[in-house]
Amino acid sequence: MPAYKAPLRDMQFVLHEVLNAEQHYQAIGAEDASRDMVDAIMGEAAKFCEEVLAPLNQVGDQQGCQWNDGVVTTPEGFKEAYQQWVENGWPSLAQPAEFGGQGLPDSIGILVSEMVSTANWAWGMYPGLSHGAMNTIELHGTDEQKEVYLTKLVSGEWTGTMCLTEPHCGSDLGTLKSKAEENGDGSYAISGTKIFISSGEHDMAENIVHIVLARLPGAPEGTKGISLFIVPKFLPDGTRNDLQCGSIEHKMGIHGNATCVMNFDKAKGFLIGPPNQGLKCMFTFMNFARLGTAMQGVASAELSFQGALAYARERLAMRSLTGPKAPEKPADPIIVHPDVRRMLLTQKAFAEGGRAMMMHASMLVDQVKYSDDEALKKESDDLLSFLTPIAKAFLTEVGTEAANHGVQVFGGHGYIQEWGMEQIVRDNRIAQLYEGTTGIQALDLLGRKVLMSQGEMLKNFTKIVHKFCKANEDNASMKSLVTPLAKVNKEWGELTMQLGMKAMQNREEVGGAAVDYLMYSGYITLGYYWAQMAEKAQAALDAGAADADFYKAKIKTANFYMQRILPRTESHKLAMLNGVDSLMDLDEAHFAF
């Protein structure tokens, strides 16, 4: 397994130089979040992730979780690491002070989450899912629910889950069957089976708070008849609730996290939010989880890049085509070969570009939650809504690509378990599935966010890119970056209009184009973040910055992205414009003979 080293220098660059974090924190009333404080938090988090979590990553993969008559035991060291996590106050970092939190902005929590995710994704899911539960209860719970449940979740004494999926329904929650019946005392009896429940049962915390979707008697059919409930493993009086982990899944990856079948047998639950409005309330949880899952793509790209880079510098094979680069050695390090550099630069571009996207998204979350400027809140919320499906689906897709490149750089050794590179591929593969598959996110982006808004949500972002390109069109050092970016940014709107016209004639065109549209959008979006980073890097060089090599690497990676990655948009464009007919022409009966 690669020895994880937190990329603090790069995180500081994006946070402080590209996104002007101190100004941002002052604007939302978080004046205490000074640069020194944030850097100190990052340093301590890095130490914990490098020294405690990273060594457990391969342990979790090899040992997995064990199920015995409803009791789940996590891998060796997981429980002790969680206790240390709680003792150090990490669960409360970006939670409200009135419930025991430290009151810091969400974007600071995201910095820590990235390090945890990269060091040990399976472990990080246990506390990670609690954040969504906390946000849901904070926004939709009663004062009593906040006092009973939120305080314990904030402290980390309890963890949380989200219970949506059932054996017969995944993303189509309108067919959900779990039911809730009134007990006569203000509580409800929850019955049903939920599957694929990450962290649904474990031995790391003393209680688990399940956020569960179920139907009340007489509720409308479909998604409009779903309500949301708090269903704890142990009730507030300490009584064991009537719910049980029926089994755990044997999975391709994330073996260190328990993916559970949860059986609710008239378990006592408590309504959260209005009746029949559960899905609306649950989107608080789901949107947070989607951004968290997007981070998995960044984490996979970063960890795989770190492992591949170290190996490529040491592994000797063949000579450079332009002559020996290490004549004193029997062969050259493979990093001299163009194809290895192609893979390494692709990993680097996805990891660092994805980091910038995620940090920007997390600052939009801050503005939505904490800004007093209602116009800014609305603008940030719309932009966040547009970026969320791109971040979730695009970053996890390219995260898997980056992880596969890591295996390829290692050659045959990459396929061997002891190196840990194949684990990154297996662990990340789920990220394209849970919290809404790539196809679901693509339909959300093209259908709901873009076409249903008459293109307004898209324009919100393309205007930002356009202004950036216009501001730099006379900047000679930026010409190679802004010229291709401006071209595809203009094309983006034109292409969207063409797809909209096609969809008016045949609605299947939306489904046929959606994934290509999302990937097309993702490459342009990431191109914008790379251009931003290059601009700041060039400005630092012009100012005589001491860390010149760091800034030069940024600019050169940005140029690589524009020349070798951004052109992928062309193939996605052609596929979309060729329409849906080739997808639908083959009769279902003729797929196989």
pLDDT value at 194 more than 80: yes
Reported as a single tens digit per residue, the pLDDT across 431-489 is 999 989 999 999 999 999 999 999 999 999 999 999 999 999 999 999 999 999 999 99
pLDDT (mean) for 364-374: 93
* 52-81 average pLDDT score: 98
Separation of alpha carbons 558 and 536, rounded Å: 12
Annotation says 314 is catalytic: no
Instruction: Please give the Cα distance from 5 to 587 (Å, whole number).
Output: 52
Cβ 382 vs Cβ 457: under 8 Å = yes
Query: Given 138, 201, 422, 435, which residue is catalytic?
Result: 435
The secondary element (H helix, E strand) that includes residue 182 is strand 179-182
Give Cβ neighbours of residue 580 (< 8 Å, ≥ 6 apart): 506, 508, 509, 511, 512, 513
Task: pLDDT band for 281, please (50, 70, 90 cuts).
Answer: confident
**With bands split at pLDDT 50, 70 and 90, how would you rate the model's confidence at 285?**
low
Question: Given this model, what pLDDT does residue 587 score?
Answer: 92
pLDDT value at residue 405: 98
Give the whole-angstrom CA distance, residue 284 versus residue 136.
Answer: 6
Q: Please provide the CATH number assigned to the domain covering 281-439.
A: 1.20.140.10
pLDDT digits (tens, 9 = 90+) for 352-364: 999 999 999 999 9
Three-class SS of residue 216?
coil
Say yes or no to pLDDT of 282 above 70: yes
Share of residues in the chain with pLDDT > 90 (%): 93
Task: Supply the pLDDT for residue 63.
Answer: 98
Distances (CA, A) of 131 to 229, 284, 285, 292: 17, 11, 8, 10
- pLDDT the model gives residue 593: 75
The confidence band for 223, taking pLDDT boundaries of 50, 70 and 90, is confident
Among all chains, which residue has been given the structure tokens 């990655």? Answer: 565
Is the confidence at residue 386, as pLDDT, over 90? yes
Cα angle 298, 205, 142; round to 5: 85
Comparing CA positions, the residue from 190, 221, 214, 109 lying closest to residue 154 is 109
What angle is formed at CA 113 by the lines to CA 435 and CA 405, rounded to 5 degrees?
Answer: 70
State the pTM of this model.
Answer: 0.97
Residue 576 has pLDDT above 70, yes or no: yes
Q: What is the pLDDT of residues 127-177, one digit of tens each?
A: 999 988 998 999 999 999 999 999 999 999 999 999 999 998 877 777 899
Q: Which of 126, 114, 122 is nearest to 85 (CA)?
A: 126
Write the CA distances from 437 to 387, 392, 442, 517, integer angstroms: 16, 9, 8, 15
- Mean pLDDT across the stretch 281-299? 84
The domains of the chain are located at 281-439, 442-584
Report how far apart, in Å, the C-alpha atoms of 402 and of each of 299, 351, 397, 564 are: 10, 8, 9, 15
**Above 80 in pLDDT, residue 116?**
yes
Compute the mean pLDDT over every residue in the chain, rounded to the nearest whole number. Answer: 96
Least confident stretch, 109-123, 277-291, 531-545: 277-291
